[in-house]
Amino acid sequence: MKPKILLFLLIIPIVLSANIKLQEHPRLLLTHADVQDIKQNLNDAPLFFASYKMVKDEIDDILNLSMDVPMPKDAGGGYTHERHKQNYKEMMNAGALYQISGEEKYAIFVREMLKKYAEMYPGLPLHPVTRSNYRGKIFWQGLNESVWLVYAAQAYDCIYDFLTIEEREYIENRLFYPIAEFLTKDNLSTFNRIHNHGTWAVVAVGMIGYAMGNKDLIDKSLYGFYKNGQGGYLAQINQLFSPDGYFTEGPYYQRYALHPFITFARTIDNNQPELDIFGYKDGVLLKAVASQLQLADSNGLFFYLNDALEKTWHSEELVYALDIAYSKNPDGYKSFLSIAKEQDRVILTGDGMKVARAINNKEDNTFRSRSVLLKDGAKGDEGAVAILRAENEDETTVVFKYTSHGLSHGHFDKLSISFYDQGNNILQDYGAVRFLNIEQKNGGHYLPENDSFAKQTVAHNTIVIDKQSHYNGDINISENFSPKHLFFIQKENMVAAAAEDSTAYLGIKLNRKVAIVEDSNFECPVLIDIFTVSGKSEHTLDLPFYFKGQLIGANFTYKRHLDSQQVFGDENGYQHLWLEAEGKSDLPVSSLTFLNGNRFYSLTTNVTPETELFLTRIGANDPNFNLRNDQMYMLRDHNKSERTYVTILEPHGEFNPIKEYTVSSYPKIKNIEIVDNKRDSSTLILNLTSGGSVKIEIGNRKDSM
Amino acid sequence: MKPKILLFLLIIPIVLSANIKLQEHPRLLLTHADVQDIKQNLNDAPLFFASYKMVKDEIDDILNLSMDVPMPKDAGGGYTHERHKQNYKEMMNAGALYQISGEEKYAIFVREMLKKYAEMYPGLPLHPVTRSNYRGKIFWQGLNESVWLVYAAQAYDCIYDFLTIEEREYIENRLFYPIAEFLTKDNLSTFNRIHNHGTWAVVAVGMIGYAMGNKDLIDKSLYGFYKNGQGGYLAQINQLFSPDGYFTEGPYYQRYALHPFITFARTIDNNQPELDIFGYKDGVLLKAVASQLQLADSNGLFFYLNDALEKTWHSEELVYALDIAYSKNPDGYKSFLSIAKEQDRVILTGDGMKVARAINNKEDNTFRSRSVLLKDGAKGDEGAVAILRAENEDETTVVFKYTSHGLSHGHFDKLSISFYDQGNNILQDYGAVRFLNIEQKNGGHYLPENDSFAKQTVAHNTIVIDKQSHYNGDINISENFSPKHLFFIQKENMVAAAAEDSTAYLGIKLNRKVAIVEDSNFECPVLIDIFTVSGKSEHTLDLPFYFKGQLIGANFTYKRHLDSQQVFGDENGYQHLWLEAEGKSDLPVSSLTFLNGNRFYSLTTNVTPETELFLTRIGANDPNFNLRNDQMYMLRDHNKSERTYVTILEPHGEFNPIKEYTVSSYPKIKNIEIVDNKRDSSTLILNLTSGGSVKIEIGNRKDSM
């Protein structure tokens, strides 16, 4: 990664030379000018008014309760943890209410709470919970400490002019400077680290820097502790976002990162418009907001790539991101308004006001998901996520991931796929093993099975060779490599992508071509998956499919283990799978049918009589029931140096228990012929049970790239 | 059961003496008078018009296709099965369209199809699929043959006047009389059997009897093959419905039965109003419609009692039932209109017209579920289903089942409970093991695991003694007994029911009191479950809870089987459970917490250090993956002659992954004291982790009965 840092150093001096002329208070996300505008236009923006009213009602209730700033004690999910989280939200909201309503009770609330924190903070040791390598003082994780400061800085900014000089000094000297010192000097390696912990730290320090008008903190925030651009906000943007606006940790953390990235960009833009931060790196921050919306299923649920949990368009970060992005580019992002309407609230700033007024003026377009290639890597040359969508009502979607590792939250999942249809996840990526904020589950932190299962290659819909994870599961090796993007094409009736990798397994080349094809022989768009393995020596090849649904039938016989069940393997994630059943097929293709929602799905793959077919279930070696007990279907071939798996995932038929009918519960494909299979093109013939056949050609030199 | 039949014989002669003066055609569900009314008022009833339009569009499309009346071959889900089902629906709809529109093309369609059937039928052998004891000719089950006739009779009735005498004779002599003969004489035991197969058979014969004006068939239909009241429609009503309108097979089959019962009642009422069929047995048919609506969760999904699959208020049978019931009692059933609106369609008869007009006139009230006791048995003395509901937004509901066996679809589930909250099933009754109409799954028929697992006692949330099912799993014994109802009380903040049984296990008395209690110490209404076993000798007691959700934590240590897993038992359903983990508790109560939706649930039960605590999962000995792999938690005590289990199911807290907070993930109950426990009253003290305590008194002599 070194060369990249040097590259961006070249940009820095220009920026460093700029003078900072700060605005009057408030000046962070909500500005003095915004406040005047909001007061005048509240009646033309019902959604803003409703959002304001919601926050006001909540805070008015809270003003009647006694304030609690407890001595830090608990991990995530515990009382003190949740209380301090609540506190920073309440402070920020009360600050905004003070500005908008002018009522002093809100400012007093913020002042009193900040004073309590200021009273406590200097005496605080490191948090007693020692679970994190990056401990905070108020929280068990330094990360939460940064988040606290991002909110508290906004609260402070809003009441700055309300405080006496003595009060400001008390709060700044006992609270804000010590926290800033803690986040910068005491945790220097995190502060300068290119990672979401680093992002939050630089943004927190920058926000309080702007709030207090401290150029030193602002510069550290923008350019790193040594102000040389090797760390800091700009370096984070440079390295964490690809030119397409893909965040290297994946959509779950992209969403999380958008909050500090976008809110701080807005703060910088309000105070140093000359930096043109939203235009920085070809406008990558706004692109990141747009790409985030594509990284979701038809319910707005973000794809489960890398360490991911349930998050949607409705997450608070997206309210910030959409409001600010729309406000910066209202002509380009009219469709964001339709999502803002679904979110049913706006942020209490000038940007939220613009969104609310635009909605009131019916300026919105409907947001549409589309097929998109999002390249990974600071320069866009470290693989990609290809999202292939059929343009149908069911929003049939394949997510094909061949990105770089994705930092500490990355999985060993090169060339893996997941599949969505009718708003349901049909082939799943497990995501993370974690129950956020649930104390009983390791304090809400990642669980051991996240490393031992979810990150392993066998936990993904991609080939595993010799039962080893990619790069032998070593992140230090993995983070140096990424697959090579081959093509992304969109034609009538087809969208396809391909990638190859020769680094995940030594001496083995993996080539995967994935397409969604619409053909009149099939009721629904089908997924075509051509996975070619070429090696010099012989290996065991495992191809897992984590299908979701009730198993309905198979065209091969299998034997289920009836009264005793064993683990499927010893390590690399296999130790978390129960072997439920095994079989082989006499036919040229194996076919497995399952039911999800009211639709059948069949996975049909070319096999030989030696191909072993397994049905497994997640859940072995899981002493605390941390895993979901989902099923997996696997094809295994032994002693292969070359093998091309062609799998068709065919959605078909309908099961209607209410109206009591079933149609087309069997797949249509009888055989798969590989006519031609090159690096960047393949031709197949699918023979149908009806007697007909379909010729499929994926990729070719002319269309490629 | 013999004594009951004698009782009802006394009623019959009065009815038999009545003369039949039939109306002009059509005269079944849709009458000549209805047609005139519909034609005049189509514009005042948008929902009727929309329903008519939907059917018309569908049939207009079909008129362009070639008609197929294939030689019967397939079981449920297969082509010929589904085609014949489709045919009868199309005929009925085309018949109604002919009447309403007057367009002859619809009549011609029905005529041609009936002629094709008439051509084929006399040559048909029994259906080649031999899976049923009651085989049809067009269908593999005689049941479907009856259903076919119910629809075809209506189609025929609608085009009767359009046909020439020769055409009528051809169709009647080659088709309808032979089918009627097949259903009556050839399958006499079913025709006279008190069971849903019998219901459909008598109704089918009655409908075609009215359509053809054949008094012999009508009388056989009403009074049984020998016209003596030992079989037939009236006997079916007498014996299958309790005075509260509970159908002895349970809600899934009650829904199914409502269709023939209600539609035939409407037909009788249209032609022999003097029978006052809707007033028969104190208006039990209308009561059955009303009770059916109470037998559903807050999504309108019918409770999974006995052999049950997914069915809702939207099922076609309910469209018929609500429209006809409303029309017979518009003042009493205004709230049915709100459900009819959700159904978004009406039947194409005068009753549908009334509903549509009432909706257009905004005469609807909102339907509300409530706590209700539905006694079982022809005389209401064979146990009951008690549905206990908290009057909260979450519609917290306990279903407590202590009915009679419920004929061939009954389960060995005496005194079992299930629990619903926030529209989710929290403690489940498995229902049936069957995939309706899916050919791969045994032709859509019941699967072997339905008998070996789903019907067994251990598949239910009730006590199992010595690992045996109730009555040793023998329906011939079970059907002679039912539990004794003790009380059903509704007070402020509490609704409770109790029952006892001393027949399911020889020499053992089971007493269960179930309550939903609202108390300010708990955020949500809690389920209180007091289950007392008293025997003369020592036994092994198993108390299973089929909880649904992710296991979060327990207050006891358990050891999970990590790399090898064994079956939990050998027979009586135990052979279908994997033993996942086992533990014991040092504390006076065991507590297990799981997450369902965004809410935590804890099951807290009084235990001794010897009580064994098991976590099991359904799925062993299931060679074809027919079962759902759901979890079960079980308490087991050995060598007990007396034991009272008090279990509190406490919903608590909130897990919000989108907004990233968790509150109250631990249960509040620390200890349970049984202060007093009599047959019809119990007093408990619940000690809370907060230090406080709650006294709970359930039942007392004054309130009881």
- Write the residue in B593, B595, B665 that is nearest to A77 by C-beta: B665
Structure confidence by residue, pLDDT tens digits, A339-373: 999 999 999 999 999 999 999 999 999 999 999 99
Asked if A447 and A439 touch (Cβ cutoff 8 Å), the reply is no
Instruction: Name the H helices within A295-335.
Output: 316-328
From the list A41, A63, A65, the residue with the least C-alpha distance to A52 is A41
Q: Is A416's pLDDT higher than 50? A: yes
What's the burial of B10, exposed, middle or buried (CB within 10 Å: 0-12/13-18/19+)?
exposed
**Which phi and psi angles does B502 have, rounded to 5°?**
-135, 20
For residues A691 and B316, what is the distance between their CA atoms, to the nearest angstrom?
37
Q: Suggest the residue from A89, A660, A666 to mutate for an interface test with chain B (most B CBs closer than 10 A).
A: A660
From the list A195, A86, A183, the residue with the least C-alpha distance to A141 is A183
Asked if B353 and B379 touch (Cβ cutoff 8 Å), the reply is no
**In the prediction, which pLDDT does A702 show?**
52
| End-to-end Cα, chain A, rounded Å | 26
- Average pLDDT, stretch B676-696? 95
Contact (CB<8Å) B550/A625: yes
Q: Is B293's pLDDT higher than 70? A: yes
Contact (CB<8Å) B565/A565: yes
> A234-249 burial string, b = 16+ CB within 10 Å, else e?
bbbbbbbbbbbbbbbb
From the list A321, A293, A326, A700, the residue with the least C-alpha distance to A515 is A700
- Average pLDDT, stretch B318-333? 97
> Which residue on chain B is closest to A315 by alpha carbon?
B658
SS3 content of chain B, % helix, strand, coil (to 5): 40, 25, 35
Q: Suggest the residue from B252, B552, B555, B613 to mutate for an interface test with chain A (most A CBs closer than 10 A).
A: B552
Domain boundaries, chain A: 1-12+51-240, 241-368, 372-698
- Write the residue in A551, A660, A661 that is nearest to B625 by C-beta: A551
Run of H or E including B655: strand B654-656
- Write the residue in B444, B624, B658 that is nearest to A314 by C-beta: B658
**In the prediction, which pLDDT does A693 show?**
96
From the list B510, B332, B85, the residue with the least C-alpha distance to A656 is B85
So which residues of B are the catalytic ones?
A: 253, 409
Q: Compute CA distances A13 → A8, A21, A275, whole Å.
A: 10, 18, 12
User: A52, A106, A246, A253: which one is catalytic?
Assistant: A253
Whether residue A253 lies in the annotated active site: yes
Q: Is A5's pLDDT higher than 70? A: no
- Average pLDDT, stretch A449-462? 98
Q: Is B14's pLDDT higher than 50? A: no
Q: Is B163's pLDDT higher than 60? A: yes
Confidence band for A661, pLDDT divided at 50, 70 and 90: confident
* Closest CA–CA distance from residue B111 to any residue of chain A (Å): 25
**In the prediction, which pLDDT does B23 show?**
80
**In the prediction, which pLDDT does A348 show?**
97
How many C-beta atoms lie closer than 10 Å to residue A515's C-beta? Answer: 25
Confidence band for B358, pLDDT divided at 50, 70 and 90: very high
- Write the residue in B438, B552, B623 that is nearest to A438 by C-beta: B552
- Average pLDDT, stretch A513-533? 97
Relative to beta strand A589-596, strand A564-567 is unpaired
Cβ contacts of A690 within 8 Å, gap of 6 or more: A521, A668
Residue the block writes with tokens 């010729």: A695
* Closest CA–CA distance from residue B580 to any residue of chain A (Å): 9
The two tokens of residue B279 are 């007033």
> Which residue on chain A is closest to B302 by alpha carbon?
A658
Contact (CB<8Å) B658/A310: yes
Task: Report the percent of chain B where pLDDT is more than 90.
Answer: 91
**β partners of residue A578:** A567, A617
Angle at A241 between CA A217 and CA A384, to 5 degrees: 165
> Which residue on chain A is closest to B312 by alpha carbon?
A658
Structure confidence by residue, pLDDT tens digits, B120-156: 999 999 999 998 899 999 999 999 999 999 999 999 9
**Who has greater pLDDT, B6 or A125?**
A125
**In the prediction, which pLDDT does A703 show?**
44
Q: Is B544's pLDDT higher than 60? A: yes
**In the prediction, which pLDDT does A76 show?**
80
- Write the residue in B441, B629, B662 that is nearest to A437 by C-beta: B662
**In the prediction, which pLDDT does A443 show?**
86
Q: Do domains A1-12+51-240 and A241-368 have the same CATH topology?
A: yes
From the list A315, A351, A318, A322, the residue with the least C-alpha distance to A337 is A322
Count residue pairs from A and B with Cβ separation < 8 A.
149
Under DSSP, is residue A365 helix (H, G, I), strand (E, B) or coil? coil
The two tokens of residue A409 are 């939250």
**Which phi and psi angles does A698 have, rounded to 5°?**
-120, 125
Rounded-to-10 torsion of CA B208, B209, B210, B213: 120
Angle at B63 between CA B61 and CA B67, to 5 degrees: 120
**Which phi and psi angles does A374 have, rounded to 5°?**
-115, 105
Domain covering A241-368 assigned CATH 3.40.50.1980 in the classification: no
> Which residue on chain A is closest to B440 by alpha carbon?
A553
**In the prediction, which pLDDT does B78 show?**
85
Asked if A336 and A343 touch (Cβ cutoff 8 Å), the reply is no
Q: Is B2's pLDDT higher than 80? A: no
**Which chain A residues touch B624 with a CB distance below 8 Å?**
560
**Which chain A residues touch B666 with a CB distance below 8 Å?**
439-440
- Average pLDDT, stretch A374-383? 97
- Average pLDDT, stretch A657-682? 93
DSSP secondary structure code for residue A503 in this structure: S
**In the prediction, which pLDDT does A196 show?**
86
**Which chain A residues touch B436 with a CB distance below 8 Å?**
657, 660, 662
**In the prediction, which pLDDT does A290 show?**
97
Domain covering A1-12+51-240 assigned CATH 1.50.10.100 in the classification: yes
Contact (CB<8Å) B560/A82: no
**In the prediction, which pLDDT does B702 show?**
53
Rounded-to-10 torsion of CA B250, B253, B254, B255: 130
Contact (CB<8Å) A560/B661: no
**Which chain A residues touch B553 with a CB distance below 8 Å?**
440-441
**Which chain A residues touch B615 with a CB distance below 8 Å?**
625
Contact (CB<8Å) A625/B309: no
ipTM of the complex: 0.90
Angle at B625 between CA B624 and CA B628, to 5 degrees: 155
Contact (CB<8Å) A657/B553: no
**Which chain B residues touch A82 with a CB distance below 8 Å?**
661-663
Amino acid present at B610: E
DSSP string, A21-36: -PPSSSBSSSBHHHHH
What's the burial of B42, exposed, middle or buried (CB within 10 Å: 0-12/13-18/19+)?
middle
Cβ contacts of A245 within 8 Å, gap of 6 or more: A284, A285, A286, A287, A288, A289, A290, A291, A292, A374
For residues A273 and B374, what is the distance between their CA atoms, to the nearest angstrom?
72
What's the burial of B645, exposed, middle or buried (CB within 10 Å: 0-12/13-18/19+)?
buried
Q: Suggest the residue from A58, A200, A440 to mutate for an interface test with chain B (most B CBs closer than 10 A).
A: A440
Q: What is the mean pLDDT of chain A?
A: 94
Structure confidence by residue, pLDDT tens digits, B393-414: 999 999 999 999 999 999 999 9
Contact (CB<8Å) A435/B595: yes
Q: Which CATH number fits domain A372-698: 3.40.190.10, 2.40.420.20, 1.20.1090.10, 2.70.98.70?
A: 2.70.98.70
Q: Compute CA distances B368 → B289, B292, B330, B336, whole Å.
A: 14, 13, 17, 10
For residues A1 and A24, what is the distance between their CA atoms, to the nearest angstrom?
40
Contact (CB<8Å) B565/A564: yes
**Which chain A residues touch B595 with a CB distance below 8 Å?**
435, 438
- Write the residue in A436, A562, A621 that is nearest to B623 by C-beta: A562
**Which chain A residues touch B86 with a CB distance below 8 Å?**
661
Whether residue A409 lies in the annotated active site: yes
Contact (CB<8Å) A560/B435: no
**Which phi and psi angles does B156 have, rounded to 5°?**
-60, -45
Contact (CB<8Å) B436/A85: no
Confidence band for B623, pLDDT divided at 50, 70 and 90: very high
What's the burial of A10, exposed, middle or buried (CB within 10 Å: 0-12/13-18/19+)?
exposed
For residues A148 and A92, what is the distance between their CA atoms, to the nearest angstrom?
10
- Average pLDDT, stretch B341-359? 97
The two tokens of residue B592 are 């297990």
* Closest CA–CA distance from residue A75 to any residue of chain B (Å): 12
**Which chain B residues touch A550 with a CB distance below 8 Å?**
435, 625, 628
Sign of CA dihedral A264, A270, A272, A277: positive
**In the prediction, which pLDDT does B700 show?**
63
Structure confidence by residue, pLDDT tens digits, B180-227: 999 999 999 999 999 889 999 999 999 999 999 999 999 999 999 999
